Chains A and B, each alone.
Chain A
Amino acid sequence: MIAYLDPGSGSLIASALVGGVAAVGVAARQARSRVTGAFGRKRRPELEPDAPAAPDTEPAVEPPADAS
């Protein structure tokens, strides 16, 4: 189901931060998989030519680049 309203990706993450303490768990899990994701990219750079150029400018809760 696709929503008629684009909620805005930045706003989705911001709304999670507003959740406060509860958001920390999700943020931590995402940060952890982002770290593993970063290592993964280093080992197989040729498989991800479209990987974001500057992932470190993205916020801590930004989901891992290779999650899907």
Chain B
Amino acid sequence: MAGYDPGSFRDPDGAVFVEDGAVRRGLSEQGARDWERLAATAFFDRLVASGHLVRTTVHEGAAPPSPRGRHWAAVLDHEPIPVVSYPYEWPFAMLREAALVQLDVLLAALGEDMSLKDGTAYNVQFVGSRPTFVDTGSFEPSTGPWPGYRQFCRTMLFPLMIQAYTGVPYHPLPRGSVDGPAPSDVAGMFSGLRRLRKGVLRNVTLHSMLERRVTKPSEQVKGKMRSAGYSTELAKATARNLRKLVAGLEVGRRGREGSVWSDYRDTCSYDDADAATKAEFVRAALAEGDPGLVLDLGANDGAYSLLAAEHAGYVVAVDGDEQVVDRLYRRLRAEGREDVLPLVMDLADPSGGIGWRNRERRAFAERVQPDVTLALALVHHLAIGANVPLPEVVGWLASFGGRLVVELPHPEDPMVRRLLAGKPPGLFDDYQRDAFQALLAEHCLVHRQETLPGGTRTLYLAEPKP
């Protein structure tokens, strides 16, 4: 089963594998029947054209046996997603957009008597700011209530409600458990007056109570709901009400206070000459070699990511501040940008592998192979702010494999002094410009370096040694 996507094993009717750089999906006989039905619908073409559903065609070729050792009846070709990302790496607005697409796809399917067999957030991926539903294997003939409702709650609705109603970022929850928080977990968070917030009573309180009390097998319950008159119309009403609820969820002002970086651009220490020199250095570095993928680590408001997008095919902008990334996402979405993917991640604690055998959802570094990595105004935060030894920082940056554009703020830089002020004296005596240069030269060939006019920061363009 080499080549199979390690996250694509739960549904026996289909599995995704990568072959010659193409993303393909093997289908069982049942899966092939569902695909034929999907391909014949009007909504399929409509959703593909609008970008809400991944472009998919039939592949005339063999497939390796399924992860369960069976042969497939048909194989599909999917348009590849430039860089795969996960819900715990998305800011609030991004998860909300993903949830809306999930529901729009469900509503479109219900309109033609089809439904989705699951409802996990991992079925949505982003191309830049555009969410797209990627699991064509999820479509099946509609047979009553939406079976994906619970997954939708656990991976999308609950995280959104938690952040909207409590102000606490939801990210540790899906990262800590690949299935997301259960209704009973969330019911504990929404006690007292919070139960009155929109959608809580039915989706959380009653849901948790029903889950505890109804013990009949779900197939039996489904059959009885159908015989009592549960129709596709009712499933549509559920999806429509969920859509209205999700669209109205927003992070209140209270949840948006106290961000460390949200005003960074206004308060940071660059003067105009430094900023212009830095931009010119970065621009020149990117103009060489026609990079396909640029990784901007510590992207902040995305200014350099947007600059990089002028020279690169695709940019991944990563920052640890959810609020700043959320703002960047909203801006990119408003502009319809598909070339910059903004992600939230603490770079001293990047996403690891989670789920089955820690492979179902892959570690961040396995999903990104950049041609160029930008690490601007980042090294001091890792080396001093997070106590990561300088050799580790340089080794980590080089491990991405692409060319490096690194900025080193010198020990006398105001931002470095501010960081050092909170640490015992002498602890970071090895944070020195020549020590950094020696480490960089150990891992890389340094092509170019330039100290900014202010004299407290140096930029390097370096290429990891093979």
Contact = CB atoms under 8 A, between A and B. Distances in A.
A and B part of one assembly: yes
B220 interface: yes
A49 B149 CA distance: 33
A30 B62 CA distance: 49
B207 to A, nearest CB: 4
Interface residues on A, range: 35 or more
Nearest to B34: A1
B219 interface: yes
Given A7-B145, A63-B224, A16 B238 contact: yes
Interface string B140-164: 1101011111110100000000000
B202 A29 contact: no
Contacts of A10: 207, 209-214
Contact of A18 (B141, B148, B203, B233): B203
A20 interface: yes
A2 interface: yes
Interface string A16-60: 111111110110011001000000000000000000000001110
A2 B219 contact: yes
A3 B225 CA distance: 16
B405 interface: no
Interface string B1-18: 000000000111100000
B419 interface: no
A17 B229 CA distance: 14
B118 interface: yes
B30 interface: yes
A19 B140 contact: no
30 contacts: A1-B141, A3-B140, A5-B10, A5-B147, A5-B151, A6-B218, A7-B147, A8-B211, A9-B210, A9-B214, A10-B212, A10-B214, A11-B150, A12-B149, A13-B225, A15-B150, A17-B202, A18-B149, A18-B202, A18-B238, A18-B241, A19-B237, A20-B241, A30-B224, A59-B206, A59-B210, A59-B214, A62-B214, A64-B224, A68-B220
